[in-house]
Amino acid sequence: MAQPRVVSIHYTLTNDQGEELDSSRVEGREPLSYLEGAQNIISGLESALNEKSSGDQLKVTVAPADGYGEVNEELIQPVPRTAFEGVETIEPGMQFQAQTPGGPQIVRVVEVADETVTIDANHPLAGQTLHFDVEVVETRDATDEEQEHGHVH
């Protein structure tokens, strides 16, 4: 197997409607660096960058299956409003950190009724086709330590 690389990219992410969701090309932001083969970034983006080198530019479309997954309806569920004790106003779109058996998780409020609040624990980009406009800024061989840790130093 080839030596894994650390790849640094600038990217702009848009959805199917052409709305910009995220970009590294804003003032004060560094390029995104990831370690190959370590699931640091979504698989659909990483596989498109496999053979790319510094200076390459590409547009990548990533289906939900190769991105943040499909929406899991079981992760959308009502909870009693009393679970939000101490929160004065609860509105759709708000995000909370919930304690779950699997650790802390971000949930979004999708609907608010008298007695219940419907929350969605899916990744905000689940179910979405993602469009990346990417430029490879730099690549280098990963160090042994980075490979051991599974992330970029």
Total residues interacting with Zn ion, rule: CB under 5 A: 1
CB atoms within 10 A of CB 128: 21
- Rounded to a whole number of angstroms, the minimum distance from the CB of residue 153 to Zn ion is 6
- Closest to Zn ion by CB, 59 or 149: 149
149 touching Zn ion, by CB under 5 A: yes
Shortest distance (Å) from residue 144 CB to Zn ion:
11
Q: CA-CA distance, 79 to 61, in Å (whole number)?
A: 35
Beta pairing partners, 22: 13
Residue range at the interface with Zn ion (CB under 5 A); choices 30-38, 56-64, 86-94, 144-152: 144-152
How crowded is residue 16: how many other Cβ atoms within 10 Å of its Cβ? Answer: 10
Q: What is the dihedral of CA 88, 90, 95, 99, to 10 degrees?
A: 70
**Minimum distance of Zn ion from residue 151's CB (angstroms):** 6
Q: Which residues bind Zn ion (CB under 5 A)?
A: 149
